Structure 1
Amino acid sequence: MKAMLSEAPGGPETLVLKEHPLPEPGKRQIRIRVRAAGLNYPDTLIIRDLYQMRPPRPFAPGGEVAGEVEAVGEAVTGFAVGDRVLALTGFGGFATHVCADAGSASKIPDAMPFEDAACFVFTYGTSYHALKDRAALKAGESVLILGAAGGVGVAAIELAKVAGAKVIAAVSSEEKAAFCKECGADETIVYPREMDRDAQKTFSTQIKKLAGGEGVNVVYDAVGGDYAEPALRALAWEGRFLVVGFPAGIPSIPLNLTLLKVNQIVGVFWGASVMRDPKAHAANMADLFEMYAKGQIKPRISARYPLKDAPKALQMMQDRKVLGKVVLEVD
């Protein structure tokens, strides 16, 4: 088999494509012949030893794959050789073959291409868990999505619209704003790359104006940094602030803001929730597959690369130039 390996900590340019021993599935594992692998921001962190998971080297990044079951380990039920599946692997997905826990895999509909499947569970799983399970988003409410042009952001736009909410997409460029409009956002805000106090006040005022009334009911924050506080200030009474990620840095929040409008700051750790409550995850996946079949949601794949160009694709992700999703097509 071939794998795009991280042999030492570093950026995408340190990855090398090499022959690697074919893995054998362990107990409750399946081996997948990878046909497509989705890219996600944690892939840029794990190769630099900046992620909470630090696999022993050499390892391949890639936490989300789709392909066919090639071998089944001991005590696996519900899967057979030849099944078309998607799976969360944590790492190892940038390869022709990978072993995954059967509990992290799902059979995919026959009509779903492998490319869509490889870009499906991480983004839609995260955003559905966030909006449904953590924020209890209701029809008629409003939601602000920070970093809305990225994978989880676009998924949040689509899922919020399915829920009947008003969506305000906040992004860093006019190109990204136009893209979010195409994805279903009702309103957009282009925020500056550098957010000083004056810019924060302007940003918060813009959010409130577009939301109408007292502000937004839900903030979906996949950015963090200096963007978090003005978004929190723009929450309405009993608003919910979802902490999804912080590529712009971990923010410092004045907690008195939560008291003034009885707001909630809610953590979204989707990966842990999948492990702790697999039945709820399975129910959410059934909902998402149904939405996909109805055409309500669909991964917005803006770029496709062969496995050998994984470093180029990851650099694009690291530079925040991705609109929607990027996928590796694995021969």
Structure 2
Amino acid sequence: MKAVQFSEPGGTEHIAEVDVPTPEPAPGQIAIAVRYAGLNFVDVLARRGVPGYATGWPYVPGMEVGGEVAAVGEGVDGFAVGDAVVAFTVDGGGLAETVVAEAGLAARVPDGLALERATIVPLTWATAVGLADAAHVSSKDRVLVTGAGGGVGDALAAVLSLRTPRCVVGGTSANSAGRLAAVYRPAVRDAEFGAAARKANDDELFDVVLESIGGDVASASLGLLAPGGRYVSYGAAAGQPDPAAPAPADLRRNNWTTAGFSIINRARADARAVGALIAAVFALAEAGSGWELPAPRVVAWDEAIDAHIAQAENRSPGKTVVAVRGS
């Protein structure tokens, strides 16, 4: 079968389309004939060799797929060949014609929901729901999302809107600020990011910071946390060293709560917990909550490598999925 593969960690010269053996499901798994594969920044981190993403080399990226069940492994109930499903393929493999996934990280697609829209749920939108839960966001809160410009940022805007916080500021590049203004108060991530974010928040501190950039942005964001605030780190896209954590005395004095969130590590440790997040997204989409899962940008298979590179270079706003097979 055809697949996109990273031959070794490093630059874009290590990306190629290859032929690889078609995988078979092990006990507890299903095999999926992939129609759509979501592109995510975790694929970029995997290619760069950041620990915790690629499970070995060579590596086929892709952690989010939609398609039909092609085979069912031993001990799996609730799925049949031909079912339309989505899955969080936590060990990669999704940018290929067939992938295997843990049954606990897969879900049937609700009737009437287009498969390309459903494909953005298992990692992207499940992350947004998990973050809103981890930070206990409420209508009283002022919220900062430091990485508002990508797929998770778009999902967070919608998920947070259901909790009606007082203010939501989104950290963004200068190129994406205009696009995001409809759902965030944008703050450009430059040398003055901290001041810009606070100005966008009516010169107030933030009750919740959802931080995915790391390095200098993380350091600036820690300085924006109000007394009683909650800070959740869920990424380090900048590739810079993490700032020093607040001292215990500062945590006590300010009643701060700090936490980490990794949907990948949670999926590897407790597939049911992430399966519940996937189910929660579908439940919200079907509940008449005032929004629907958006249509992602769809690119053809022969554009997949260029689309991955564009995402790595911050030239890909919003969410992109690759059409792996024809309808």
TM-score by length of 2: 0.90
**How large is the Cα RMSD of the aligned pairs?**
2.1
CA distance in 2, matches of 1:48, 1:226: 20
Equivalent residue number for residue 148 of structure 1: 148
**CA separation of 1:29/1:115 partners in 2, compared to 1, >3 Å: closer, same or farther?**
same
Q: Which one of the candidate residues 312, 315, 323 is aligned to 1:318? A: 312
Partner deviation per Cα, 1:186-217 (whole Å, 9 max, x = no partner): x221232xx3xxx3xxx334433433474111
1:283 aligned counterpart, secondary structure: helix
Shift of 1:10: 3.1
Equivalent residue number for residue 69 of structure 1: 69
**CA separation of 1:162/1:7 partners in 2, compared to 1, >3 Å: closer, same or farther?**
same
**CA separation of 1:315/1:83 partners in 2, compared to 1, >3 Å: closer, same or farther?**
same
CA distance in 1, matches of 2:324, 2:195: 46
CA distance in 2, matches of 1:25, 1:276: 19
Q: Which one of the candidate residues 272, 288, 296 is aligned to 2:291? A: 296
CA distance in 2, matches of 1:259, 1:229: 19
Partner deviation per Cα, 1:154-179 (whole Å, 9 max, x = no partner): 11111111111121112121x41222
Look up the equivalent residue of 1:255 and give its one-letter code. Answer: P
- Work out whether residues 118 and 293 of structure 2, in 8 Å CA contact, stay in contact via their aligned partners in 1: no
CA distance in 2, matches of 1:107, 1:21: 26
CA distance in 2, matches of 1:296, 1:72: 34
- Work out whether residues 121 and 278 of structure 2, in 8 Å CA contact, stay in contact via their aligned partners in 1: no
**CA separation of 1:25/1:140 partners in 2, compared to 1, >3 Å: closer, same or farther?**
same
2:294 matches 1:286: no
Equivalent residue number for residue 103 of structure 1: 104
Q: Which one of the candidate residues 264, 268, 273 is aligned to 2:257? A: 264
1:308 aligned counterpart, secondary structure: helix
Name structure 1 gaps, 5 residues minimum.
Answer: none
2:287 matches 1:273: no
**CA separation of 1:176/1:259 partners in 2, compared to 1, >3 Å: closer, same or farther?**
farther
**CA separation of 1:139/1:277 partners in 2, compared to 1, >3 Å: closer, same or farther?**
farther
Look up the equivalent residue of 1:250 and give its one-letter code. Answer: P
Q: Answer with 64-73 or 39-48: which moved more.
A: 39-48
Look up the equivalent residue of 2:21 and give its one-letter code. Answer: P
CA distance in 1, matches of 2:129, 2:122: 10
CA distance in 2, matches of 1:124, 1:172: 21
1:47 aligned counterpart, secondary structure: helix
TM-score by length of 1: 0.89
- Work out whether residues 188 and 196 of structure 2, in 8 Å CA contact, stay in contact via their aligned partners in 1: no
**CA separation of 1:318/1:107 partners in 2, compared to 1, >3 Å: closer, same or farther?**
same
Look up the equivalent residue of 1:59 and give its one-letter code. Answer: Y
CA distance in 1, matches of 2:34, 2:180: 30
2:150 matches 1:157: no
**CA separation of 1:24/1:115 partners in 2, compared to 1, >3 Å: closer, same or farther?**
same
Shift of 1:254: 5.6
Look up the equivalent residue of 2:316 and give its one-letter code. Answer: V
**Identical columns (%):** 32
Look up the equivalent residue of 2:309 and give its one-letter code. Answer: Q
2:6 matches 1:16: no
Shift of 1:230: 2.0
1:68 aligned counterpart, secondary structure: strand
**CA separation of 1:50/1:208 partners in 2, compared to 1, >3 Å: closer, same or farther?**
closer
